[in-house]
Amino acid sequence: MTVKNIVFIGMLFLGVVIAMVPENTTKPYKLTAEAMLVEVQGAAEMVSADDVAHWVISKDPSLQLIDVRTPDEFDKYHLEGAINIPLSVILRDEYRDYLDQGVKMNVLYSNGTLISHQAWMILRQLGFKNNYVLQGGLNYWFDTIMNPQEPSTLAANEEFAKYDFRKAASSALGGGGAVALTAPTQTQAEKPKVVRTKKKKAPQGGC
Amino acid sequence: MGPLIPQEIIGADWNLFIAFIIGIGFGFVLEQAGFSSSRKLAGMFYGYDTVVLKVFFTAAITAMLGLLFFSLFGWIDLNLVYVNPTFLGSAIVGGIIMGAGFIIGGFCPGTSVCAAAIGKIDAMVFIGGIFLGIFVFAEAFPLIKDFYMSGSFGGLKVPEVFGISSGVFAFLVIIAALIMFKLGELAEKKWPREEY
Amino acid sequence: MKTSYMNPYLAGVLLGLVLLMAFFFSGRGLGASGAVKSVVVTAVETVAPEHAANSLFYGNYVGEDKSPMKSWLVFEMMGVLVGGFLSGALSGRLNWKVEHFPGITANRRLIFAAMGGILFGFGSQLGRGCTSGSALTGMAVLSVAGFVSMMAIFGTAFALAYFFRKNWI
C-alpha cells in the first residue's frame, strides 16, 4: 500500500464518517459533579434581600438584577433596573454576554427561589461566574422589604435596626411603608466579590 | 479541552514559544516537500509538477478533519478558534494580485522564507519585494481604506452559506481534492519534468 | 546532486498536523505575510515615528504598550527559518544560488522575483493574508475568505501562466 493510497483511503473514510455526524453545537458543562455539589452545599450563591435593597438604593453600579420569569410576569411587575431573561431562553447566544461576564454582579430572581435556582445551576455548570440568587425571591422581598413587619417590643436591637432599614428602603423603592422611627442605619452590606474573569478575548489570528 | 492557551490551560507566555516551535515544524515540512524551489512551485501552473496541489490540499483536509474530529471528541472548542473574516471585495482583488505575484515571482511569503533559509537568493529578493509591497500598501492605505473594509460578512463559513453541515462540506472538499489529485497525476505524466 | 523530496501526500499530512497543533495550542492557524508586515511597521516606526503614529495603517500597531515584533507570526517565521535550514542541511540542499529555468538569465529571474514579491506584499495586505494565512488556514476552518482567497490566487496564477511561460518552461 503506497503512502498515496493510504492517504486517499484515509481521507475518504474519515470524510464519510464526519459527513454522517450532525453539526456539533452543544455547550459543554465545565464543572464536575463533585465541584457542583460542594458549591450548592456551601450556598455561597445566595444574596439576602436586605443586601440587594441596599445596593438598589445606593445605586450600586455593579449590581444587575435579572428577572428569570416569563415576559408576562415581568411586564406586570419587576424590580427597578432588572432585565428579563426568561429561564426558557437562557442558553441563547444573545444573552451570553449578560450571563458570562466578569464586571457585574448578576442577581437572579423569580417569585420564589425555585426558578432562579434552576437558572443558577445551569449557568454555574457552564462555568459562568458572578451570578447569584435572591434569597426568598420576590415573595420574600414584598414581605420583608416592601411591607416590613414591626418587630415586637421584646425583640433585639438588631431586629429594630433591620426594621428601620427596611422601612426606609421600602419608601425609597416605592413601597407602602411609613416613615422610619430612626434614621436608616448604613449597614455595610457585605458584597460578594465580583470575580473578574479575564475578558475572554475574541480569538486572535490572521496573517 | 483546547485551544489550550485561549482557555488558559497553558499560560499565555508560552504562546510565542509555541509559535516558534510550530514554525520549525512548518519550515521543515515545507522544505522537505520541495517548497523551497521556485521551479517546483511554478510547475503547478504548467503541469510538470503538482506538488503544490497535493501538499496544499492534503494539509488543508488533514487539518479540517482534525478540527472536526477534535470537536466531536470534545478536545477543542471551535468557538475559540480564529476564523478569518470575509471581506469579499478585498479578498478577491487581493487574491488576484497575489496570484499574479505567484506566477511572476514563483514564491509565496511562507515558501520564500523557507527557501531563503537554504540559501536561495531569488527567494531573498522576493522577500525584499514583499517589504516594498507592504510599504506601498501602507502608504496608500487612506486611498484604499473604503474598499478594504467593504463587503464584510464576518467569520462566515462556507457550510453556513449552503446550509449544509460542516461534515458534509468537508466530505465534498475531499471528493473535489481527490479528483484534482488524479488530474494532477495525469498532467505530470503528460508534461514530464526534467531534473531540477 | 540528485535531491530527493518527501512524498507530497505524506508532507501534506504532516503539514496538516502542524497546522492542527497551531489551532490546538494557540487557537489560530499559520501565517507569513503578517510577520513581514511587523518588520515593516517596526522599521517605519524607528525611522519616522510620527508618521507611523499618525498613519491609518501603522497607527494600529504602534503605541505605548505595543511591540509589533512580539507577535505570534514573527516568532513563527523565525521558526520557519530554523526548520527550513535544518531540513535543507539534513537533505544536502544547502547552497547559495539563484534558482532559475536554464532558458533565462539569473538577473532576469531576480527581477521577476522582486516584482512578484512586491505584488505579493501588496496583495497579501489587501487580501488579509497569503496562501498560508488565508488560504490554507482559512480552508481548514471552512471560512469563506479562505476558499475565496485560494480560488483567486490559484485561478489568477493559472490564467496568467501562459504569459510568463518563457520564464519557467
Q: Which 8-state DSSP code applies to residue A77?
A: -
Q: Which ipTM was obtained for this model? A: 0.94
**What number of other Cβ atoms are within 10 A of residue B162's Cβ?**
11
Q: Are residues A100 and A58 located together in one domain of the fold?
A: yes
Angle at C78 between CA C74 and CA C84, to 5 degrees: 140
Cell numbers placing B145: 481604506
* Structural domain includes residue A49: yes
Indicate the pairing of strand A83-84 with strand A63-67. Answer: parallel
Show the low-confidence residues of chain B (pLDDT under 70): 194-196
**Omega of the bond prior to B3 within 30 degrees of 0, cis?**
yes
Flag whether A197 is in a domain.
no
CB-based contact B97 C126, cutoff 8 Å: yes
DSSP C61: T
Average pLDDT, chain C: 92
A28 by DSSP, 3-state: which? coil
Q: How large is the C-alpha radius of gyration of chain B?
A: 19
Strands (E) located in chain C: none
Q: In chain A, where does DSSP find H-type helix? A: 3-20, 33-42, 49-57, 71-76, 96-99, 114-125, 137-141, 157-172
Residue where a domain stops, chosen among A119, A141, A163: A141
Beta strands in C46-95 (DSSP E): none
Residue A165 CA to residue A143 CA, distance in Å, equals 14
Q: What are residue A106's DSSP bridge partners?
A: A64, A131
Residue in chain B closest to A201 (alpha carbons) equals B6
Report pLDDT for B142.
Answer: 92
Instruction: Please judge whether B58 and C124 are an interchain contact, meaning their C-beta atoms are less than 8 angstroms apart.
Output: no
**Residue B102 distance to chain A (closest CA, Å):** 17
* Inside any domain, residue A154: yes
Residue A152 and residue A83 share a domain: no
C3-34 confidence digits (pLDDT tens): 789 999 999 999 999 999 999 999 999 999 99
Which residue has cell 516606526? C45
Residue A39 and residue A134 in one domain? yes
Q: Looking at residue A79, which CATH number applies to its domain? A: 3.40.250.10
Asked if residue A111 belongs to a domain, the reply is: yes
C143, β-bridge pairs: B157
* Cβ atoms of residues B130 and C121 within 8 Å: yes
Which residues on chain C are in Cβ contact (under 8 Å) with B61? 12, 16
Find the residue in A nearest to B80 (Cα).
A203
Q: Residue A81 domain-assigned?
A: yes
Distance from CA of B191 to the nearest CA of A (A): 21
In a shared domain, residues A43 and A137: yes
In a domain, A133, yes or no: yes
Helix/strand/coil (H/E/C) assignment for every residue in A30-64: CCCHHHHHHHHHHCCCEECHHHHHHHHHCCCCCEE
Q: Which residues of chain A have a pLDDT value below 50?
A: 177-185
Place of cell 458534509: B168
Are A153 and A132 in the same domain?
Answer: no
Q: Which residues of C127-159 are buried (b: 16+ CB within 10 A; e: fewer)?
A: bbbbbbbbbbbbbbbbbbbbbbbbebbbebbee
State the angle between helix axes of B109-117 and C106-126 in degrees (0 to 180), rounded to the nearest 10. 140
Distance from the B18 Cα atom to the nearest Cα atom in chain C, whole angstroms: 8
Same domain? A90 vs A124? yes
Do residues A173 and A93 share a domain?
no
Q: Are A56 and A79 in contact (CB under 8 A)?
A: yes
Residues A136 and A67 placed together within one structural domain of the fold? yes
**Same domain for A132 and A178:** no
Interface partners of chain A (CB pairs < 8 Å, 3 or more) are: B, C
- Residue A3 included in any domain: no
Confidence at residue A181, expressed as pLDDT on a 0 to 100 scale: 43
Task: Please give the pLDDT value at position A25.
Answer: 60
Q: Are C108 and B48 in contact (CB under 8 A)?
A: no
Note whether C72 contacts B133, CB cutoff 8 Å: no
Q: How are the residues of chain A apportioned to helix, strand and coil, as percentages rounded to the nearest 5?
A: 45, 10, 45
* pLDDT score recorded for residue A177: 46
Mark whether A135 and A167 lie in a shared domain: no
Chain-chain contact of A206 with C130 (C-beta, under 8 angstroms): no
Q: Which of C112, C126, C141 sits opposite B93 (nearest CB)?
A: C126
Cβ partners under 8 Å of residue C12, min gap 6 = A7, B33, B54, B55, B56, B57, B58, B59, B61, B62
Structure confidence by residue, pLDDT tens digits, A126-152: 888 899 999 999 999 888 888 888 888
Total-model pTM: 0.77
Q: Are residues A58 and A83 in the same domain?
A: yes
Structural domain includes residue A187: no
**Judgement on whether residues A113 and A42 belong to the same structural domain of the protein:** yes
Number of folded domains that form chain A: 2
Confidence at residue A36, expressed as pLDDT on a 0 to 100 scale: 86
From chain C, pick out residues whose CB is under 8 angstroms from the CB of A3: 7, 9-10
C-alpha cell at A50: 436586605
Query: How close, in Å, is residue C91 to chain A by CA atoms?
Result: 20
- The range of the structural domain enclosing residue A71 comes to 33-141
**One-letter amino acid of C148:** V
Higher pLDDT, A174 or C151: C151
Q: In the predicted model, what is the mean pLDDT of residues C117-143?
A: 94
C-alpha cell at A69: 420569569
